[in-house]
Amino acid sequence: MSGSKGSAWGHTASDLLHLFYERCVVGIMELPSSQYNFLWVEGFPLFSPPENAAEDTASNRLAATHHPFTAPVAEDLPLLHRQPEKVRGQHYDLVLNGVEIGGGSIRIHSPKLQTFVFEEVLKVSRGGMHVKLTEERR
């Protein structure tokens, strides 16, 4: 399955949606073509273990689940310093019949919080921050 591991269930929301989609496509679960089942996915982790966990295990490096500019859920801010893997992000997906059709996020608006996320959680250097910011503007 695609996506990075690391949510409470061992898979990200993307993994679970992909699994649901596969089940529908191969016919294990059949939905009538006239039935529309919407799902609003929220509350998934802000950070996940990196795709190549073997390389980053020693450095305890995490990856942004959605993107590095996603704001944390306000009530989870105290966890950011001691248990960042438990912080939920303000990002969401909209799913129709097992297929992601949209999504988005609330951005971090505090330069101090953004710097903390880059430097302390994601372990991105100031030079790396410049690259990320430049890529985001394109």
pLDDT digits (tens, 9 = 90+) for 35-66: 888 999 998 899 998 776 555 555 568 999 98
Sorting pLDDT into bands at 50, 70 and 90, what band is 23?
Answer: low
The mean pLDDT value of the chain amounts to: 79
Task: Classify the phi-psi angles of 19: left when phi > 0, otherwise alpha if psi is within -120 to 50, otherwise beta.
Answer: alpha
Highest mean pLDDT among 8-12, 31-35, 63-67, 108-112: 108-112
What DSSP character marks residue 45? B
Q: Residue 105: what pLDDT?
A: 94
CATH of 13-137, one of 3.40.50.300, 3.30.360.10, 3.10.310.10, 3.30.930.10: 3.30.930.10
The phi and psi torsions of 73 (rounded to 5 degrees) equal: -65, 130
- Report the distance separating Cα 13 and Cα 45, nearest Å: 9
Work out the number of other CB atoms within 10 angstroms of the CB of residue 60: 11
Return the pLDDT at 62.
92
- What global pTM score does this model have? 0.64
What is the predicted pLDDT for the residue at 74?
Answer: 96
